[in-house]
Amino acid sequence: MRKNLAVAIRFTLITTVVFGLVYPLAVTGISQWIFPKQANGSLIVKNGEVVGSRLIGQAFLGEKYFHSRPSAAGNGYDPTASSGSNLGPTNQSLITRVQQDVAKLQQENPGAPIPADLVTASGSGLDPDISPAAAEFQVVRVAKARGISADELRRIVARHTELRKFGILGEARVNVLELNLDLDEAAPLKR
Could you give the C-alpha distances from 139 to 1, 27, 66, 93, 160, in angstroms and in order? 74, 43, 8, 29, 14
Mean pLDDT of 59-80: 81
pLDDT, tens digit, for every residue of 85-108? 777 888 888 888 888 888 888 888
pLDDT band at 44 (very low <50, low <70, confident <90, very high): confident
pLDDT band at 37 (very low <50, low <70, confident <90, very high): confident
**Residues linked to residue 46 through DSSP beta bridges, in sequence order:** 49
What is the residue type of 86?
N
DSSP of 154-189: HHHHHHTEE--BTTTBS--EEEHHHHHHHHHHHSPP
DSSP of 13-82: HHHHHIIIIIHHHHHHHHHHHH-HHHHTT-EEEETTEEEEETTS-----STTS-------STTTT-GGG-
pLDDT (0 to 100) of residue 74: 67
The model's pTM is 0.76
pLDDT (0 to 100) of residue 40: 78
pLDDT (0 to 100) of residue 70: 85
What span, in angstroms and rounded, lies between the C-alpha atoms of 64 and 180?
9
pLDDT (0 to 100) of residue 190: 60
Q: What is the mean pLDDT of the chain?
A: 86
Helix (H, G, I), strand (E, B) or coil at 88: coil
pLDDT, tens digit, for every residue of 123-166? 777 888 899 999 999 999 999 988 899 999 999 999 999 998 89
Helix (H, G, I), strand (E, B) or coil at 190: coil
